[in-house]
């Protein structure tokens, strides 16, 4: 485990998946991240690469060949190299290798940079195409934030405020694939109240959300975290059944549409990089 900290925050990371494992508010001692209880969901903040969500039949086709990839890809199951580390910043890197090329035929470098400044943790991603050919990929974040249900509080005391949305257009998931149909959730003054029932049919998947700032807050005590992101056009909100967390998930790419032909190059939301080209995106969480 790798740790960085300043006077406000302490962050801990696992080299497996370069995953953020803990973020502690040093003023209050409060843990911001979900505990990763495997009885509900063993993840905390996995990186989703080189796909987001599920493929139809867990397969895709590229240049006439069929490959298999598990849901959310393989990066979260790989050991990253610790490239650089300082008191307030850490950089992890994952590169393609003989094993990855069997299931994903592109040479790449994926760097994840975690930086602490005052009360904010910023997470930046840089993907570089090291192949001779055009590279196709998706990447998503999946951080789970703890919901405090102790000392008289409950899950329904929490809400998410959106900076620029009056309503949410949701794509339902059907056997882990994206429906072409949409459902509308009307927000109350740009605010979504949390409940266990909200996720009874899986994640809320959005491809047209306008907001790039969300505030997760407790209505009883006004404890909150401010969540911002850039260069992620799609978004998911999810929690496991009856579990005390909520995931705020900025994505570049989504699961296969239910009528997708499995061809990678025409997959909805796929990113295309030319040789030696970079793609950069980030998200941040600020503690209030």
Q: What is the DSSP letter of 79?
A: B
Give residue limits of the domains in the chain. Answer: 2-287
Taking residues 166-184, what's their average pLDDT? 93
Count helices and strands (H / E) in the chain. 1, 27
Q: What number is the average pLDDT over the span 176-182?
A: 91
Regarding beta strands 89-95 and 81-85, do their DSSP bridges make them parallel or antiparallel, or are they unpaired?
antiparallel
- Mean pLDDT value across the chain: 96
C-alpha distance from residue 9 to each of 40, 121, 273 (Å): 26, 8, 35
> Quick one: what percent of the chain has pLDDT higher than 90?
94
pLDDT digits (tens, 9 = 90+) for 103-141: 999 999 999 999 999 999 999 999 999 999 999 999 999
How far, in Å, CA of 113 to CA of 93, rounded? 9
Does the pLDDT of residue 37 top 90, yes or no? yes
Checking if the pLDDT of 201 tops 90, the result is: no
**Which pLDDT does position 218 carry in this prediction?**
94
Does 221 score more than 90 pLDDT? Answer: no
- Alpha-carbon span 19 to 33, nearest angstrom: 12
Task: Grade residue 288 by pLDDT with cuts at 50, 70 and 90.
Answer: confident
List, in order, residues 6 or more apart from 97 with CB less than 8 Å away. none
pLDDT value of position 151:
81
Which structure tokens are listed for 18? 């370069």
pLDDT digits (tens, 9 = 90+) for 239-251: 999 999 999 999 9
Handedness of CA 168, 36, 96, 72 (dihedral sign): negative
Tell which CATH classification among 2.30.30.60, 3.90.226.30, 2.40.50.100, 2.70.98.10 matches the domain 2-287. Answer: 2.70.98.10
What local confidence, expressed as pLDDT, does residue 153 receive? 87
Q: With CA atoms as reference, report the closest residue to 187 among 204, 158, 170, 162.
A: 162
What are 117's strand-pairing partners? 120
Cβ neighbours of residue 68 under 8 Å, at least 6 residues apart?
58, 59, 103
């Amino acid at each position: 485990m790798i740790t960085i900290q300043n006077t406000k925050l302490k962050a801990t990371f696992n080299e497996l998946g370069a995953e953020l494992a803990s973020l502690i508010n040093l003023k209050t001692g409060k843990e911001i991240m979900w505990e990763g209880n495997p009885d509900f969901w063993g993840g905390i903040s996995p990186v989703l690469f080189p796909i987001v969500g599920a493929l139809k039949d867990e397969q895709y086709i590229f240049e006439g060949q069929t490959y298999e990839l598990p849901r959310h890809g393989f990066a979260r199951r790989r050991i990253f190299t610790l490239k650089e580390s300082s008191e307030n910043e850490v950089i992890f890197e994952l590169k393609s290798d003989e094993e990855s090329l069997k299931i994903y035929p592109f040479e790449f470098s994926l760097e994840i940079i975690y930086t602490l400044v005052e009360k904010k943790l910023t997470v930046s991603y840089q993907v570089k195409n090291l192949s001779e050919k055009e590279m196709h990929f998706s990447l998503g974040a999946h951080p789970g934030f703890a919901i405090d249900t102790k000392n008289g509080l409950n899950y329904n005391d929490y809400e998410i405020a959106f900076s620029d949305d009056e309503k949410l257009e949701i794509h339902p998931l059907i056997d882990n694939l994206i429906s072409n149909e949409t459902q509308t959730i009307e927000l109350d003054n740009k605010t979504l109240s949390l409940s266990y029932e909200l996720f009874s049919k899986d994640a809320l998947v959005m491809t047209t959300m306008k907001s790039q700032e969300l505030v997760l807050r407790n209505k009883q005590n006004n404890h909150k975290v401010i969540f911002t992101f850039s260069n992620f056009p799609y978004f998911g909100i999810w929690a496991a059944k009856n579990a005390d967390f909520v995931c705020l998930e900025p994505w570049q790419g989504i699961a296969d549409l239910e009528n997708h032909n499995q061809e990678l190059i025409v997959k909805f939301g796929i990113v295309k990089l030319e040789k030696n080209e970079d793609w950069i995106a980030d998200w941040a969480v600020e503690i209030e």
